[in-house]
Structure 1
Amino acid sequence: MSIGNTVSCAAAQDLVDICLELDILSTKTLSELGWDRSWSNSPDSRLPESVLISLWQEIDKHDKGRGLGLRIGQTINPNAKGLLASWVSQCSNLGEALEVFTNNLVLMNASENITVHRQDSLVSLTFNIGSKQQYPTIAIERSMSAVMAWAYSLTGNELTIEKAEFSFPEPDYAHQFKQIFGHSIRFNASSNRISIKAQALELPIVSSNSLVKGIIQSKASELLSDIQGTSSTQEKVKKRIEERIKSSEPVSTELISASLGMSRQTLYRKLKEESSDFKTLFDQIRKEEAAKQLDRGVSLSSLSLHLGFKETSGFYKAYKRWFGHSPKAVSRDQTKN
């Protein structure tokens, strides 16, 4: 899967939650758009970028000069952080946070890009989103507004904007831009850019924790490998199945394919291209987990539920097929020992 056609489920869910909170979209509208909240159950789940674009296009229909992009950007839910936002929150200062964020935006959306340029005492941030996609203007407004809101949330200090430029005509709600970006604003500019004093990058992050940052960074590196296609489809599927079994969540082709941002048919095809199939992978992981958990003395009934078997008898049959004997024999041996 190319990195340009999936986006973070967590980021999309955050957008949905804010729109519900601000009464911009209704649950009925979201249902009509095909939105499924279960997509965001896993922190590293992905969904097709087309779903996010449809969301933005629907929000744009409700905008009508209300400045919804700016309002959405200014609304932050600290409890709804995705992987990238969590990583940024553990950085030492705003400069490091900005570097991590801009270098790893692919974790959220590969179509979004922020270029940082430093000249003398000023730092400029230039925003671009989906030049070949159909994002409305309010999407870029949201991105620029959100950077301001997050900077305040992370440091407890409001950024002073030296200059703000926007590539679109001045809207009817221009006064809202002044409230967020100050009075040095220019519309119909060549790019979407904000400039701040370089010393602002030294502001400390109030939630900084180097140990937690290292853990999140390791997880992010794994996900980046997945997104950028350095992992095979088999490896991605096995990882998702293992995660769901570990957290006692149901496993199905529909759930796994959705978490990878592809249809069930596409998942079948990609696995077939690698001479594999979903049933075999699921069976293999169940077998490995069964052996591991029985060695730890887990009861047969608990293990059956843990592996997702509806009936204990189904687990017994599978175990005998895997190992050539009943799991009761292993359980009896452990009792003797």
Structure 2
Amino acid sequence: MSKLQLKTVSAIAVVDLAHELILRNFLSVEVLRQMGMDVFTQYRLYQQGESIAENRLAEHHLVALWDRVDAKSDFAFMVGRTVNAKAKGLLANWISYSDTLEQAFHIFQRNVGLLNYAECWRLFEDTNHNEVALVFEFDSALSYPNLAIERSMVAIIAWANHFVSEPLEVKSASFTYPEPHHRDQYTTLFGEHLTFSADENRIVLALSNFQQVLDSSNPYLRDVLKMRARTVSLLIDGDSNTTSQVQTFLIHDLAKYSNIETLLTDMHMSRATLYRKLKHEGATFSELVKQARQQLLSSQRQTELSNDERAALLGFNDVSSYYRFIKHLGLHG
């Protein structure tokens, strides 16, 4: 098997989501700390007012946080609709200095990896009907829940409205997920023409919307941030933190890669080298496996699996080891 490609997202994306989850009692600070010192350190810096705009975290942290949200809640809609200036990362700052909304979207579309490489936005112009369609999907080895899709669809309109003086005219919108309980909130943002359980996530806008000038337009600052973004992109491409690599393998297939010999084979690394590198980064293999098991167990809380199936999924050789694990966590089988 070839080496899995390490994927990271903007630390702002992870930390801002964690912050909102804590505010709404979906997450405690202690549970966030248990997710790993990398994410907890970024959270503390954010709380202290430090800039983390160019920092990165492993993608699986973002997915793990989304998995903690009640699928029936309106959390994703509310978070997506809220424009938090404090949570503007490098990409949001860059596009805010665009001349027009169309330019802003093209910058966003081409450089979305600065936020999250998995977000895939496509644009289709229909000059005959004076319309433009924005189509969205996640392209990732990890499984993003519908809530993450909802947040992205809502946020693209909320941020666009934040940048321009005239609110966008949404002609229609379709979503791949089922109709939510809070459907009435959608009409205030997306209008009356809504379709759920659709084949794709699509927002259709009036083409004239895209010609709107941004009040914050600044060519000089835009070029400055463009150069900085190029530097950050090179750093992202060269990221090879061993801890994050191990976490990526574990989140990909915990049952397989909790076996250290299998992991070493696919990482093309000796046991001594792995231990040395993890120690240098302040981590151990057993700690990373434990964290991965806690995260997967949390995401599987509402699935109907037998204890034998859960034990196998978490990489335990027998169910008794699984029982000892959940007892140590203070849980019940």
What TM-score results when the alignment is normalised by the length of structure 2? 0.65
Report how far residue 226 of structure 1 moved: 2.4
AA partner of residue 88 (structure 1): I
Is 2:189 the counterpart of 1:174? no
Partner of 1:147: 156
Q: Deviations for 1:40-63, whole angstroms, at most 9, x for unmatched residues?
A: 65432221111111011012xx34
Offset of 1:262 from its aligned partner?
Answer: 5.2
- Give me the whole-angstrom Cα distance separating, in 2, the residues matched to 1:134 and 1:37: 23
Q: Is the 8 A contact 1:47 1:262 kept in 2?
A: no
Letter in 2 for 1:151: A
2:48 is equivalent to residue 46 of structure 1:
no
Match of 2:18 in 1: 16
- Give yes or no for contact 2:175–2:202 (8 Å, CA) kept in 1: yes
TM-score by length of 1: 0.65
Shift of the alpha carbon at 1:126? 0.6
Query: How far is 1:144 from its partner?
Result: 0.4
Aligned to 1:79: 86
Which of residues 209, 213, 225 is equivalent to 1:200?
209
Describe the shift of the 1:6–1:213 C-alpha distance in structure 2 as closer, same or farther (beyond 3 A).
same
Partner SS for 1:58:
coil
- Seen in structure 2, the aligned counterparts of structure 1 residues 26 and 206 have a Cα distance that, compared at 3 Å, is farther
Kindly tell me: are residues 212 and 117 of structure 1, through their superposed partners in 2, closer, same or farther at Cα, counting changes over 3 Å? same
Task: State the Cα deviation string for residues 141-169 of structure 1 (Å, max 9, x = none).
Answer: 00000011101111133211101001122
**What is the distance in 2 between the residues matched to 1:31 and 1:217?**
34
Counterpart of 2:77 in structure 1 is 70
CA contact (8 A) 2:32 2:40 kept: no
Deviations 1:63-83 (A, max 9, x none): 4x2221111101121122111
Q: 1:157 to 1:14 in 2, by over 3 A?
A: farther
Alpha-carbon spacing, 1:3–1:82, altered in 2? closer, same or farther (3 Å): farther
What aligned pairs does 1:97-116 form with structure 2 within 5 A after superposition? 97-116=104-123
- Paired with 1:132 and 1:57, the residues of 2 have a C-alpha distance of 15
Aligned CA RMSD, in angstroms, stands at 3.1
Residue 90 of structure 1: aligned partner: 97
SS in 1 for 2:137: strand
Amino acid at match of 1:27: V
Alignment of 1:210-225 (within 5 A): 210-225=219-234
Once residues 19 and 194 of structure 1 are traced to their aligned partners in structure 2, the CA distance between those partners, rounded to angstroms, is: 27
1:102-157 C-alpha deviation (Å, 9 max, x unpaired): 11111111111111111111110111014542211000000000011101111133
Gaps in structure 2 of 5+ consecutive residues: 46-51, 248-263, 278-333
CA distance in 2, matches of 1:161, 1:173: 19
Q: Distance in 2 between matches of 1:2 and 1:105?
A: 21
Q: List runs of 5+ in structure 1 lacking aligned partners.
A: 234-255, 278-337
The answer as to 2:62 corresponding to 1:55 is: no
Q: Is the 8 A contact 2:33 2:40 kept in 1?
A: no
Q: Give the CA deviation at 1:2.
A: 7.3
Amino acid in structure 1 at the alignment position of 2:54: D
Matched-pair contact (CA < 8 Å) for 1:3–1:110: no
Structure 2 CA distance for aligned equivalents of residues 143 and 68 of structure 1? 12
In structure 2, C-alpha distance between the alignment counterparts of 1:104 and 1:16, rounded to whole Å? 24
The counterpart of 1:226, out of the listed 229, 235, 249, is 235
Distance, in Å, in 2 between the alignment partners of 1:157 and 1:15 is 28
Whole-angstrom CA distance in 1 between matches of 2:54 and 2:246: 17
